[in-house]
Amino acid sequence: MTDIYKNVSTIAELMAAIKDTEVNRIIVQGRLANSSSIRLAPGQAIEGYDEQATLTFAAGQDGLQLSTDNEVIHLRIETSVEHRAIFNDTSVDSLGHIHLFDVETVGQVQLLARDKVRSGHVEVDGLHIIAADARGQSDRPVGFGVHVIQGAFTLWNMQADDQVVISANLVDLSAGHAAAPVLGSGIFVSGPGFGKGRLSVHLLETGPVYSDGRIAPGTPDVITGGVFTVHGAYVDTVRNLAPVVTYGVNDMVLDNWGQVDCWDAEDKITSYGPSGIGFVNFGIVNELRVKAPIETFGQGARGFNVYAGTVNLAEFDRITTHADGAVGVQISQPIGKLEVFRGIETFGGTGDSLVKGVVTTLSAIGLSIKPGGSAREITITGGLIAHGDGIPPLEVHGEVGVLQITGTTRAAT
C-alpha cells in the first residue's frame, strides 16, 4: 500500500489527519500542546519531523492509543506522570505489528493483550521513559505471596489461554534517571501466569534503568523490579547494558519469575532499599552472567537468591551487601554451577528481610545453602567474608557437589 503522508503543526490538523481514512502516515512538526487523548486507526503511523517534534496531552488525560499495525517513530510524547503516554485499544482482535522506534515519553508505556486482543507482535527499538508513575495501575500479577506493581514500560499478555501467544523484540529500553527514578517497576514483561498463555520475547535489551516503588515500610505483600520478567514470560535473551538501580522498600533490581535462556548484565546492579535483592530467581534461567558488581545497602537486601525454579549456570563478578539480614548469596532450590570471580563480602548482622511475602529474620551470611537447596558446583575466587559480629561467612544445610573457595574466608573476630 502506498503511504499517504500528512504534515501537521496544530492539534486541529492532527485531529483531522487521524480521522482521514486515506492518511496512514502523520508527520508531527514542532510542539503540539494540550491535546486530548487520541487513537491511531489500524495501519496508521505517527512520526516526528525532527528532534523538536513533541506531542503533549492535557492534564488528567492518557495520551496516544494504538490499535492494530501502528508505528510511532522519532517522537516525544508527554502526559502527566501518572497517566499513560502510549497504550492500546483492547477492543480490537490483534495488536498486529506494533513498532516503537526512537521514542521518548513522560508517562507510562502500557501494552496489554486482554479483552479481545489475542495475538500480535511488539517491536521496540529505542524507548526512553523519562518519568512515569505506574503505582496507580490496579492490575498486578500475583505469585509467591506478593503483588507486582507494573512498570514504566509494561508489556503484558493477560489472556489465560495457552493458545494465545504475544511475541516481542525489545531493544534499547531505558527508564528514569539517577536523580529522578520512575515510580513503580522499571521494565516489566509478563504473561498471564504459570502454565497459561505466554509472552514470547526474543531479546529484551535495556539501557540505564532507575526505579523506586515508594512502597510503605512494613508492607509484606507488594514488590517491584528494576527489570522484571514475570510468570508466563519466555525470553531468549536479556541484556542489561547499563546500570540498573532501585531505591525503595521491596524493590528488586533484577527479578525473574519466567523462563530465560540467557541473561547477561554488563554494568553494575545496585539496590538502596530494604529487602531489595540484586538478582532474585523464582523461575528458570539457563545461563546468568552478571559481569559487574552487585551491591546492596538496605536492611535484608540480599545479593542473589534462588527461592524457586532453578539456574543452570550463574556467574558473578562480585557481590557486596552492607546491612543487617543482607545475605550475600542464598540458595533454597537445586541449582547447577555457581561461580563468583571477585568474592562475596557482607557487612551486616542479623535483621528482618522479606521472603515470599513474609518478614523473616536472617543473618548476613556470605553464602547460605538452605535446607532443600543444593548445587552441582560452587567456585568462589576472591574470598568469602562476613564482617558482622558472630556472623559466619558460610552455612551449608543442603548439598554441594564441589565447593571451592580461594582467598580469605573469615568472619569478624
pLDDT of 178 reads 96
Domain ranges of the chain: 1-94, 95-411
pLDDT tier at 355 (50, 70, 90 boundaries)? confident
The one-letter amino acid code at 33 reads A
Q: Is 411 helix (H, G, I), strand (E, B) or coil?
A: strand
Give the Cα separation of 254 and 246 in Å (integer): 9
Q: How many residues does the chain have?
A: 413
Report whether 217 contacts 249 (CB < 8 A): yes
Burial class of residue 2 (count of CB atoms within 10 Å of its CB; 0-12, 13-18, 19+): exposed
SS3 string, 283-303, reads CEEEEEEECCCEEECCCCCCC
pLDDT of 55 reads 98
pLDDT of 410 reads 67
Report whether 261 contacts 235 (CB < 8 A): yes
User: Could you report the per-residue pLDDT of 311-335, keeping only the tens digit for each?
Assistant: 999 999 999 999 999 999 999 999 9
User: Could you report the per-residue pLDDT of 220-263, keeping only the tens digit for each?
Assistant: 999 999 999 999 999 999 999 999 999 999 999 999 999 999 99
* Chain mean pLDDT for the chain: 95
pLDDT tier at 173 (50, 70, 90 boundaries)? very high
Give me 125's grid cell.
527499538
Cell numbers 546468568 label which residue? Answer: 288
pLDDT of 196 reads 84
Q: What is the mean pLDDT of residues 360-376?
A: 93
Give the Cα separation of 84 and 11 in Å (integer): 19
Give the Cα separation of 77 and 225 in Å (integer): 24
Distances, alpha carbon 290 to alpha carbons 9, 284, 313, 316, 367, in Å: 47, 16, 11, 5, 17
Compute the chain's Rg from CA coordinates: 22
pLDDT tier at 352 (50, 70, 90 boundaries)? confident
Strands (E) located in 241-293:
244-246, 251-256, 259-265, 269-271, 279-281, 284-290
pTM of this structure: 0.96
pLDDT of 194 reads 80
Distances, alpha carbon 13 to alpha carbons 8, 65, 93, 319, in Å: 5, 18, 29, 55
The one-letter amino acid code at 143 reads G
pLDDT tier at 197 (50, 70, 90 boundaries)? confident
pLDDT tier at 296 (50, 70, 90 boundaries)? very high
pLDDT of 314 reads 98
pLDDT tier at 351 (50, 70, 90 boundaries)? confident
Smallest CA-to-CA distance from 320 within 343, 287, 353, 299 is with: 343
In sequence order, which residues have a C-beta less than 8 Å from that of residue 19 and are 6 or more positions away? none
Q: What is the DSSP string of 91-159?
A: TSS---EEEEEEEEEESEEEEEE-TT----EEEEEEEEEEE-B-TT-----EETTEEEPPEEEEEEE--
Q: What is the mean pLDDT of residues 361-389?
A: 95
Report whether 220 contacts 359 (CB < 8 A): yes
The one-letter amino acid code at 197 reads G
Cell numbers 547460605 label which residue? Answer: 368
Report whether 171 contacts 203 (CB < 8 A): yes
Smallest CA-to-CA distance from 323 within 301, 303, 344 is with: 301
Q: What is the mean pLDDT of residues 398-413?
A: 84
Give the Cα separation of 399 and 405 in Å (integer): 16
pLDDT tier at 407 (50, 70, 90 boundaries)? confident
Report whether 95 contacts 88 (CB < 8 A): yes
Smallest CA-to-CA distance from 237 within 200, 203, 189, 198 is with: 203
Report whether 409 contacts 385 (CB < 8 A): yes
Report whether 206 contacts 182 (CB < 8 A): no
Give the Cα separation of 59 and 1 in Å (integer): 37
Report whether 375 contacts 366 (CB < 8 A): no
pLDDT tier at 413 (50, 70, 90 boundaries)? low
pLDDT of residue 119 exceeding 70 = yes
Q: How many angstroms from the chain centroid is the CA of residue 212?
A: 12
Helix (H) or strand (E) run with residue 18 in it = helix 11-19
Of all residues in the chain, what percent carry a pLDDT higher than 90? 92
